Amino acid sequence: MDSPAVLQQLMTFRVAVPSWALGAGGTRFGRFTIGGEPRNLQEKLDDVAAINRMTGANRAVSLHVPWDLPDDPGGFREYAAHLGLGFDAMNSNTFQDHPDTTRQGAISYKFGSLAHTDATVREAAIEHNLSVIELGRLLGSTALVLWLADGTNYPGQASLRGQFERVASGLHEIHRHLPADWRLLIEHKPFEPAYFASVNNDWGSSLLLAQAAGDRALCLVDLGHHLPNANVQQVVSRLAMTGRLGGFHFNDAAYGDDDLTAGSIQPYRLFLVMLELLEIGDGRMPGLSYMLDQSNNLKDPIEDLIQSTDALQVALAQALCVDRVQLAASQQANDPARSAELLNDGFRMDVRPLVAEARVRNGGAERPLETFRASGYRKHCIEERGAAARSTGL
């Protein structure tokens, strides 16, 4: 194993923090506040900077509109730059009704946005997405993530094909307005909130939608957005093969879209995804959008994001330690026992020293969770922002 090369690659890995993960998350059954949650956009950036001081790998934030609307985008961008942060993909929202996205309540997304039977609703949804792109341009972002809640709860509720074609058409329209250096990232999910048929329910649908949208439309893979027993490594391989793999929402899940800490349930699956990414990049991580997407119901959100970032670094380091040349030979020779040994050689290695070294060289902490706790940051936030401060989030 070539440690310096592994270290070099670990040091260049970056993963963005989603603004909605900085407050306590929840389920439809309730939400428990953590205390000292960010009250505004600046404080969200402060938290991301705090995370990055521990990990050295979280240098961008992914915003969620309409909740993240800076009054002064230019000033906000400067504030971020001052903290050493940039803006990864923007996220629009049409799964809730908010005055800013529903023409002040004139329309509703209850029965869909881009899939809606009513052209006025579809236009409002497009309009909202274009405004998010416009904001993103001012902030220096170059991508828009579109996860749509569109779908049906009951058989017969809508024409499955009609809904799909309307979404495809809407995406095409949004893509038409995409700045030349932007990418449209389309995210699929099998269910929730649609409980019978989601429009963009799987990678196959996502691929068709990306193809319908245009050249710069790519597919985003959220690790928790798959049916039971799905092989996520394979999904990644398929999308890469078609040239439409655009990025990731990292997290982990045991049942549905559980939004748990990356690597906390199936770390080996995360390792296999990293291995596939190295296969795609021929030994290097391909230049995709890497983002976290979690809902932190029980852990302190900052601690949860630190642990997720750490788990990604560990999995990447393990994947980098696999001898890909020998693996290719073993695959060619149809030797699954040998191939398993080669994978284990990477996965069973203790890569923590390598990860810690990469982190420290990037300005982070050797032991990020301990260091964060010792810093008293959360306590300070509670004093400053209040125990009842609540951030927007899911």
Q: Should residue 157 be labelled a site residue for a copy of itself when binding is judged by CB under 8 A?
A: yes
Q: Should residue 228 be labelled a site residue for a copy of itself when binding is judged by CB under 8 A?
A: yes
SS (HEC) of 189-205: CCCCCCCCEECCCCHHH
- 200 and 187 Cβ atoms separated by less than 8 Å: yes
**Helix (H) or strand (E) segment spanning residue 269:** helix 267-280
Burial 267-284 (b: 16+ CB within 10 A, else e): bebbbbbbbbbbbbeeee
Q: Should residue 119 be labelled a site residue for a copy of itself when binding is judged by CB under 8 A?
A: no
Least distance from C-beta 125 to a copy of itself, angstroms? 15
Assigned token pair, 355: 């990860």
Instruction: Single out the residue of 201, 362, 90 nearest to residue 209, CA to CA.
Output: 201
Q: Should residue 3 be labelled a site residue for a copy of itself when binding is judged by CB under 8 A?
A: no
Quote the CA–CA distance of 363 and 357 in Å, as a whole number: 10
Where does this chain touch a copy of itself (CB under 8 A) — which range of 12-20, 46-54, 172-180, 270-278?
A: 270-278
Assigned token pair, 390: 């609540």
Least distance from C-beta 293 to a copy of itself, angstroms? 13
For a copy of itself, give the closer residue by CB, 79 or 196.
196
- What is the pattern of x (binds a copy of itself, CB under 8 A) and - over residues 289-308? ------x-xxxx--xx--x-
Q: Should residue 106 be labelled a site residue for a copy of itself when binding is judged by CB under 8 A?
A: no
Q: Should residue 351 be labelled a site residue for a copy of itself when binding is judged by CB under 8 A?
A: yes
Total number of residues that touch a copy of itself (CB under 8 A): 103
Q: Should residue 264 be labelled a site residue for a copy of itself when binding is judged by CB under 8 A?
A: yes
Cα angle vertex 245, ends 327, 247, to 5°? 100
Instruction: Single out the residue of 310, 178, 185, 311 nearest to residue 247, CA to CA.
Output: 185
Among 179, 267, 281, 286, binds a copy of itself (CB under 8 A): 267
For a copy of itself, give the closer residue by CB, 80 or 315.
315
Q: Should residue 68 be labelled a site residue for a copy of itself when binding is judged by CB under 8 A?
A: no
Q: Should residue 371 be labelled a site residue for a copy of itself when binding is judged by CB under 8 A?
A: no
For a copy of itself, give the closer residue by CB, 220 or 253.
253
Q: Should residue 91 be labelled a site residue for a copy of itself when binding is judged by CB under 8 A?
A: no
Site for a copy of itself in 158-197 (CB under 8 A): 158-162, 164-165, 190-193, 195-197
Instruction: Single out the residue of 279, 309, 270, 271 nearest to residue 292, CA to CA.
Output: 309
Q: Should residue 313 be labelled a site residue for a copy of itself when binding is judged by CB under 8 A?
A: no
Q: φ, ψ for residue 31 (rounded to 5)?
A: -150, 140
Kindly write down the DSSP assignment for every residue of 60-74, as one continuous string: EEE-BTTT---S-HH
For a copy of itself, give the closer residue by CB, 83 or 317.
317
- 325 and 278 Cβ atoms separated by less than 8 Å: no
Q: Should residue 97 be labelled a site residue for a copy of itself when binding is judged by CB under 8 A?
A: yes
**In angstroms, what CA-CA distances link 108 with 118, 120, 155, 288, 308?**
10, 10, 22, 34, 35
Where does this chain touch a copy of itself (CB under 8 A) — which range of 14-22, 122-130, 134-142, 272-280?
A: 272-280
- 85 and 52 Cβ atoms separated by less than 8 Å: yes
DSSP letter for 353, please.
H
Q: Within 10 A of 195 (CB to CB), how many other CB atoms are there?
A: 11
Least distance from C-beta 87 to a copy of itself, angstroms? 24
Site for a copy of itself in 205-224 (CB under 8 A): 205, 207-208
Residue type, 136: G
Site for a copy of itself in 4-43 (CB under 8 A): 26-30, 32
Among 37, 46, 88, 276, binds a copy of itself (CB under 8 A): 276
Where does this chain touch a copy of itself (CB under 8 A) — which range of 56-64, 70-78, 84-92, 327-335?
A: 327-335
Least distance from C-beta 240 to a copy of itself, angstroms? 7
Q: Should residue 105 be labelled a site residue for a copy of itself when binding is judged by CB under 8 A?
A: no
For a copy of itself, give the closer residue by CB, 81 or 360.
360
Q: Should residue 285 be labelled a site residue for a copy of itself when binding is judged by CB under 8 A?
A: no
For a copy of itself, give the closer residue by CB, 10 or 85.
10
Kindly write down the DSSP assignment for every residue of 168-229, as one continuous string: HHHHHHHHHTS-TT-EEEEE--SSSS-SSEETT-SHHHHHHHHHHH-TTEEEEEETT-S-TT
Q: Should residue 274 be labelled a site residue for a copy of itself when binding is judged by CB under 8 A?
A: no
